[in-house]
Amino acid sequence: MAEVGCTNIFVYGTLKRGQPNHPEMAQQGPTFVCSGVTESLFPLIIGSTWNLPFLLFVKGTGKRINGEIYKITPKQLSWLDYFEGHPDLYEREKITVITTNDEGDQPVEREMQCWCYFFKNFDKELLNEPYLDTYDDETLEEGKRYKREEDIHHRDEL
């Protein structure tokens, strides 16, 4: 039975399974739905002192972004808003995500509306950074890997 008020969230960076901040999100109890890819192009870059993945809010520029869809409760969404610094750092927007989950031999593709966190107030120079379609901290070169600080919500340098 679905919990009242549940919604979908699309994560593309450190909150995905196997990535540095997934354990913190997993403690909140979201339900993994499937993998997906954004219907629209967006620039996904690595930036800041911490080498954060930033999905820049420039629809139609960049690449289709691979990520994961989770079903979350209003309480979990509130936690994610806090974690992502919404609305001061990242801002949450609804986007269309195409599911890439396989069932048996036939891939099942469908559209889902999901919340997604974007970096909207950014220096336009960030658009000159290389665009990614997938974030995986383990495969990034040494100088681009995520740097975890004790206070991840210290945003003076962003």
Q: Which two tokens stand for residue 118?
A: 């974007």
User: Are the CB atoms for 6 and 66 separated by under 8 Å?
Assistant: no
Only one residue has tokens 């001061």, namely 88
Residues 16, 17, 19, 23, CA torsion sign? positive
Task: Write out pLDDT tens, residues 105-121.
Answer: 555 679 999 999 999 99
Please say if 138 is a catalytic residue: no
Task: Write out pLDDT tens, residues 60-105.
Answer: 999 999 999 999 999 999 999 999 999 999 999 999 999 986 555 5
Q: Which two tokens stand for residue 107?
A: 């891939």
- CATH number for the region 7-136 comes to 3.10.490.10
Only one residue has tokens 């269309």, namely 96
Q: Which of 3, 24, 39, 84 is catalytic?
A: 84
Task: Write out pLDDT tens, residues 9-19.
Answer: 999 999 999 99
At 1 the pLDDT is: 41
